A and B are shown apart, each in its own frame.
Chain A
Amino acid sequence: MLEVKNVSKSYRSNTVLTDVSFHLEQGECLGLIGESGSGKSTIAKLILALDRSDSGQIIVNNVDFSQLKGRELRKARRHVQVVFQDPSASLNPKLPVWKSVIEPLENYPEASPSFLKEVRNEKRKMAEILFEKAGLQSGLLDRYPHQLSGGQRQRVAIARGISLQPNLLIFDEPTSNLDVSIQAQILNLLKDLKSEINMSYLFISHDIATVQYISERIAVLKEGRLVDLFKTKDLFSADRHPYTKELIDAALE
Chain B
Amino acid sequence: MSAVMTLTKEIATEKENEKDALFRTSPVLEIKNLSISLYEDKGGEEHRLVKKLNLSIRPGEMLGLAGESGSGKSLTASAILGLLPKSLSVSEGQILIRGQDLLNLSEKEMGHLRGKEIAYIFQNYQDSFTPFIKIGRQLVEALRSHDKISKPEAKKQALLWLERVKLPAEQIFSSYPHQLSGGQLQRASLAAALMFEPVLIIADEPTTALDVLTGEKVLDLLAGLQKELNCAVLLVSHDLKHVLKRTDSMAVMYGGQIVEKGATKSLRENPRHPYTKLLLKARPILRYTALEKFAAIPGEPGLIAKEGCTFALRCPLSFEQCYMVPAMQPAGRFQWTACQAVDREKVDTNA
A contacts, CB < 8 Å to B: 35-36, 149, 151, 179-185, 187-188, 191, 206-210, 212-213, 232-233, 235-236, 246-248, 250-253
Contacts and interface: CB of A to CB of B under 8 A. Distances in A.
A55 B141 CA distance: 52
A217 B286 CA distance: 15
B244 A253 contact: yes
Contact of A209 (B211, B244, B284): B284
Given A247-B212, A250-B212, A253-B285, A180 B291 contact: no
A181 B300 contact: yes
A181 B278 contact: yes
Q: Is the interface of B mostly helix, strand, loop or mixed?
A: loop
Nearest to B293: A188
B171 interface: no
A188 B295 CA distance: 9
Contact of A179 (B68, B212, B213, B286): B68
A182 B297 CA distance: 8
Contact of A208 (B240, B286, B293, B294): B286
Contacts of B19: none
A180 B283 contact: yes
Interface residues of B, number: 33
A248 B74 CA distance: 29
Contacts of A187: 284, 294
Nearest to B302: A149
A183 B278 CA distance: 13
Nearest to B242: A253
Given A181-B296, A184-B295, A213 B212 contact: no
Given A179-B68, A246-B213, A250-B216, A184 B286 contact: no
Interface string B271-302: 00000001100111111111101111101111
A206 B282 CA distance: 18
A251 B290 contact: no
18 contacts: A179-B238, A179-B300, A180-B240, A181-B300, A182-B300, A182-B301, A185-B297, A188-B293, A191-B293, A209-B283, A209-B286, A212-B290, A213-B284, A246-B213, A247-B212, A247-B213, A252-B286, A253-B285
Given A36-B211, A248-B286, 17 more contacts: A179-B238, A179-B300, A180-B240, A180-B279, A180-B282, A181-B299, A181-B301, A184-B284, A184-B297, A187-B284, A207-B212, A208-B212, A208-B286, A236-B288, A247-B212, A250-B216, A251-B212
Nearest to A208: B286
Contacts of A250: 212-213, 216
